[in-house]
Chain A
């Protein structure tokens, strides 16, 4: 067991996979000598050399497009987008090519690559550095979207993503990068892409969230349980797409009440998809409307206002209590 933060845990996963499999290479802007602007790839350049930890030219489409070629030719590229806000420049390569090679060649050519990117607000950053647009990627068939929430699951899920046969967008909640440490086991834990995790069992209400929203959600649950007796089940989605509808449905069938917490803008996001899934599978079990606690449908404001726009423990607590009391 080692105590580490999420940056160290992601670094550990990269190190473990690069050590295990020489097809795994990392590439991106400033990831080599500098170790990445968040230091996620710190030390890997020295350990594995510039052929396997590649400082690329500053071109997001170029990074993903060449990663596609490398993946087709048998490597396992792990590409870094420096911030998710810059990643839209590679969207054409992701949707038009990475996501499609398997289908359009009926499995003859596949694209096993990972695109890592820090996402989300809460670190008082410049504009374009705080967005939470996982839905943009989750809407592309053939792409998997994974969002860890803790050092342990970041390490386990990144290993799973690197070994996965498909393109995986791996979105790292940057405000959780160094926010806390936890024990990460020596031996890797099995995390399966496409599976949500029931973090806390409960009978009265289900809360579903992911990524950076796990921490304010945990705080909200704690606050509620300090003053009233309510049994809350907490689900960490972990994989946005393909979504684990069964875990969601099983929980809501049991509790009959659900709140979804999403950092991203309100409309057309994973929260909407979760509610649609509940509607499809367990509508008749509901005892209250499913509530969403989300960002707003505005451009992410500059950091002077970001705390007011992002869901916080207080908003989450009120939504949970309103739903319990409905």
Chain B
């Protein structure tokens, strides 16, 4: 059973897996009807790459390949950035490893007119929406220029403050509705920790009251830095939080790119047709540290990670493409070389950038010119000159 209509109790695992096989504590509960609600769980592609044809989305070879390439690129960028960070060539950054399917599936379901409002663990989605790797590197090396790239006009920069972006997403979605842009909706990512924030609940409520065209995708990666999902909420699923707001809430296997694509596509179609918001819980796992400043060995059970490594979203998708005859070892080798080159080009471009004006922050305090700002700019530049002449 791949589209389960009965909630299985753990909130952390795909419905088709008994909880003891995934290394989590919660027993498979099974929610009976007399407990009042059901949360459906969608899995199309299991961890062995077996597809459930009943739910297989109708995607072209080009789209499937695009999805896979994006996930591979995201994994490789994370890998390269981790090395750069360890070498002191960029600053602290959060990794998205393990969550590629939860970001890229939804991004594939979006059109150019849809808005992408992210948290900070949707690297593959950002790359698919056109964010240059060079800009990511700039951002994580401490330059606002990273957020200012041309294009990507319907993608907000990452939100470091947990959950705050959910309200921005609802505002954008409501603006789309008020402006009569019926072909535009918003996809808003958040994490399991964000569901504890007041802003999240305000956003769910505003979205519901306004019937705003927004799709919330909650990446339940089981951890908010060191705090596990069961300490975050007593709710048995995150998806059930949608029930209180009378909006559709579904759980999907977040490591299954076909499931995340299909659920998002369905929700976006409904949103654009005036059907209001949807909440999707993408059950996944944070396979690496929270950020490069974090040490998960202090809190994360090693055996849990081992279990989730078997659910890695990439190999199962590769197996699926191979079985469909649209992927091969040769293509994999080509992609690997191409990805490596693309990243190296971006690193080179990033490291050769010299066009940073130190006083650029003064350009963007306000959209209008004010004497006080200009006086401080002059003072700042004067201090820099003194420091360099002292050196």
Interface of A toward B, CB cutoff 8 Å: 25, 51-52, 56-57, 59, 61-62, 64-75, 77, 92-93, 96-97, 102-110, 112, 141-142, 144, 164-166, 193-194, 242-243, 245-246
Assess whether B370 is in contact with A70, with CB atoms less than 8 Å apart: no
Q: How far is the CB of A167 from chain B (nearest CB, A)?
A: 10
> Which of B102-110, B168-176, B293-301, B319-327 is found at the contact surface with chain A?
B168-176
Given contacts A59-B205, A61-B199, A106-B145, contact A70 B174 (CB under 8 A): yes
Which residues of chain B are near A107, meaning CB under 8 Å? 148, 363-364, 367
Q: How far is the CB of B380 from chain A (nearest CB, A)?
A: 13
Residue of B nearest to A67 (CB): B171
A-B contact pairs, 18 of them (CB 8 A): A65-B202, A66-B170, A66-B203, A67-B171, A69-B117, A69-B170, A71-B171, A73-B172, A75-B175, A102-B364, A102-B365, A106-B148, A106-B364, A107-B363, A107-B364, A108-B153, A165-B367, A242-B370
Which residues of chain A are near B173, meaning CB under 8 Å? 69
Q: How far is the CB of A113 from chain B (nearest CB, A)?
A: 10
Q: Counting CB contacts under 8 A, is B147 at the interface?
A: yes
Q: How far is the CA of A59 from the CA of B157 in the complex (A)?
A: 25
Q: B172 is contacted by which of A72, A104, A243 (Cβ under 8 Å)? A: A72
Assess whether B199 is in contact with A65, with CB atoms less than 8 Å apart: yes
Q: Mark B200-241, 1 if CB is under 8 A from A, else 0.
A: 001101100100000000000000000000000000000000
Which residues of chain B are near A108, meaning CB under 8 Å? 147-149, 153
Given contacts A70-B175, A109-B156, A142-B366, contact A93 B167 (CB under 8 A): yes
Q: How far is the CA of A105 from the CA of B147 in the complex (A)?
A: 5
Assess whether B167 is in contact with A66, with CB atoms less than 8 Å apart: yes
Q: A96 is contacted by which of B164, B171, B172, B178 (Cβ under 8 Å)? A: B164
Assess whether B368 is in contact with A65, with CB atoms less than 8 Å apart: no
Q: How far is the CA of A93 from the CA of B166 in the complex (A)?
A: 11
Q: B202 is contacted by which of A62, A97, A242 (Cβ under 8 Å)? A: A62
Total cross-chain contacts (CB, 8 A): 145
Q: Counting CB contacts under 8 A, is B372 at the interface?
A: yes
Q: B168 is contacted by which of A97, A105, A242, A246 (Cβ under 8 Å)? A: A97
Assess whether B144 is in contact with A69, with CB atoms less than 8 Å apart: no
Assess whether B167 is in contact with A73, with CB atoms less than 8 Å apart: no
Which residues of chain A are near B167, meaning CB under 8 Å? 61-62, 64-66, 68-69, 93
Q: How far is the CB of B264 from chain A (nearest CB, A)?
A: 19
Which residues of chain B are near A103, meaning CB under 8 Å? 144, 361, 364-365
Q: A69 is contacted by which of B145, B174, B209 (Cβ under 8 Å)? A: B174
Q: How far is the CB of A71 from chain B (nearest CB, A)?
A: 8
Q: How far is the CA of A225 from the CA of B209 in the complex (A)?
A: 58
Which residues of chain A are near B206, meaning CB under 8 Å? 56-57, 59, 62, 66
Q: How far is the CA of A193 from the CA of B157 in the complex (A)?
A: 29
Assess whether A61 is in contact with B176, with CB atoms less than 8 Å apart: no
Q: How far is the CA of A126 from the CA of B333 in the complex (A)?
A: 71
Q: How far is the CB of B171 from chain A (nearest CB, A)?
A: 2
Assess whether B171 is in contact with A164, with CB atoms less than 8 Å apart: no
Assess whether A166 is in contact with B145, with CB atoms less than 8 Å apart: no
Q: Counting CB contacts under 8 A, is B371 at the interface?
A: yes
Residue of A nearest to B214 (CB): A69
Q: Counting CB contacts under 8 A, is B384 at the interface?
A: no
The 10 tightest CB contacts between A and B, nearest first, are A69-B171, A65-B167, A165-B367, A62-B202, A66-B171, A73-B175, A106-B148, A69-B168, A69-B172, A242-B370
Q: Counting CB contacts under 8 A, is B179 at the interface?
A: yes
Q: How far is the CA of A45 from the CA of B179 in the complex (A)?
A: 18
Q: How far is the CA of A245 from the CA of B166 in the complex (A)?
A: 39
* Chain B: interface size category: 35 or more
Residue of A nearest to B178 (CB): A51
Assess whether B370 is in contact with A194, with CB atoms less than 8 Å apart: yes
Interface of B toward A, CB cutoff 8 Å: 115, 117, 144-145, 147-149, 153, 156-157, 159, 161, 164, 166-176, 178-179, 198-199, 202-203, 205-206, 209, 360-361, 363-368, 370-373, 375
Assess whether A106 is in contact with B147, with CB atoms less than 8 Å apart: yes
Q: How far is the CA of A61 from the CA of B197 in the complex (A)?
A: 11
Assess whether B172 is in contact with A70, with CB atoms less than 8 Å apart: yes
Assess whether A69 is in contact with B169, with CB atoms less than 8 Å apart: yes
Which residues of chain B are near A246, meaning CB under 8 Å? 371
Given contacts A65-B199, A72-B168, A144-B366, contact A242 B372 (CB under 8 A): yes
Assess whether A104 is in contact with B174, with CB atoms less than 8 Å apart: no
Q: How far is the CB of B135 from chain A (nearest CB, A)?
A: 11
Q: How far is the CA of A65 from the CA of B163 in the complex (A)?
A: 11
Residue of A nearest to B158 (CB): A104
Which residues of chain B are near A194, meaning CB under 8 Å? 368, 370
Which residues of chain B are near A77, meaning CB under 8 Å? 171
Q: How far is the CA of A56 from the CA of B157 in the complex (A)?
A: 27
Q: How far is the CA of A206 from the CA of B172 in the complex (A)?
A: 47
Q: How far is the CB of B107 from chain A (nearest CB, A)?
A: 19
Which residues of chain B are near A166, meaning CB under 8 Å? 366-368
Q: How far is the CB of B245 from chain A (nearest CB, A)?
A: 11
Which residues of chain B are near A109, meaning CB under 8 Å? 156-157
Of A62, A64, A72, A104, the most chain B CB neighbours within 10 A belong to A62
Which residues of chain B are near A65, meaning CB under 8 Å? 164, 166-168, 170-171, 199, 202-203
Residue of B nearest to A193 (CB): B368
Q: How far is the CB of A27 from chain B (nearest CB, A)?
A: 9
Which residues of chain A are near B172, meaning CB under 8 Å? 69-70, 72-73
Which residues of chain A are near B372, meaning CB under 8 Å? 242-243, 245
Given contacts A62-B199, A66-B174, A75-B178, contact A104 B144 (CB under 8 A): yes
Of A59, A65, A194, the most chain B CB neighbours within 10 A belong to A65
Q: How far is the CA of A112 from the CA of B367 in the complex (A)?
A: 9
Q: How far is the CA of A140 from the CA of B348 in the complex (A)?
A: 37
Q: B366 is contacted by which of A62, A72, A75, A242 (Cβ under 8 Å)? A: A242
Assess whether A102 is in contact with B203, with CB atoms less than 8 Å apart: no
Assess whether A61 is in contact with B198, with CB atoms less than 8 Å apart: yes
Q: How far is the CA of A51 from the CA of B145 in the complex (A)?
A: 36
Which residues of chain A are near B157, meaning CB under 8 Å? 104-105, 109
Assess whether A73 is in contact with B148, with CB atoms less than 8 Å apart: no
Of B167, B176, B203, the most chain A CB neighbours within 10 A belong to B167
Assess whether A165 is in contact with B161, with CB atoms less than 8 Å apart: no
Given contacts A75-B178, A104-B144, A144-B366, contact A68 B360 (CB under 8 A): no
Of A51, A77, A108, A109, the most chain B CB neighbours within 10 A belong to A108
